[in-house]
Amino acid sequence: MLLEIISEAVVGRGEVTVNWSHQVTAQGVSQVLGVRVGQATCALKHEGNGPQADITLEADLWCLGSGGTEVLHTSSHTVQEVSVSLRGTLVSDPSYHLRLVGTPRATGVHVEGETIHVDFSATVEVEARALTRYWVRAEDHVPEV
């Protein structure tokens, strides 16, 4: 005999690395000497087909130009869909939870004309929870006390 059990459970989990490019207009800059990524925030958005990571970060760019060295402050933002494979027999729509894993980082930078191109990368962890149905085997007899 089988017993039906309905309980909230984790029905999917995963880590996703999100990559994006950011552009800053800067006149007279010939080279970027360094990038420091500062404060970062991550929020969950529900648009489109699935959950999305909404990431905003602050960054300082140390630049070499005709007037010497200067620091440019910039803010970068991206929204990207993150997919999570769901398992089990779901009784309700899943709710998603998202968090940053570690600190976002700059993975590349170059100057093209009067535009600085900075590549960023951030890793997020996604967890899906939902009511799920599963079956367990019941004992055929009641133990004597």
Q: Mind listing the pLDDT tens digit for each residue in 73-120? A: 999 999 999 988 999 889 999 999 999 999 999 999 999 999 999 999
For residue 141, report the phi and psi dihedrals to the nearest 5 degrees.
-135, 155
pLDDT at 49: 78
Q: Using CA atoms, how far apart are residues 123 and 135, in angstroms rounded to an integer?
A: 35
The DSSP code sequence of 126-140 is EEEEEEEEEEEEPPS
pLDDT exceeds 60 at position 142: no
DSSP 113: T
pLDDT exceeds 80 at position 141: no
| Token couple for 95 | 């709710």
Supply the pTM of this predicted model. Answer: 0.82
| Token couple for 52 | 């999305």
pLDDT at 144: 64
CB-CB neighbours of 15 under 10 Å: 10
| Token couple for 19 | 């990559």
pLDDT at 95: 92
Across the chain, mean pLDDT equals: 91
| Token couple for 40 | 């970062």
pLDDT-derived band at 17 (thresholds 50, 70, 90) equals very high
Q: Would you say 84 and 51 are in contact if contact means Cβ atoms under 8 Å apart? A: yes
pLDDT at 140: 58
pLDDT exceeds 60 at position 124: yes
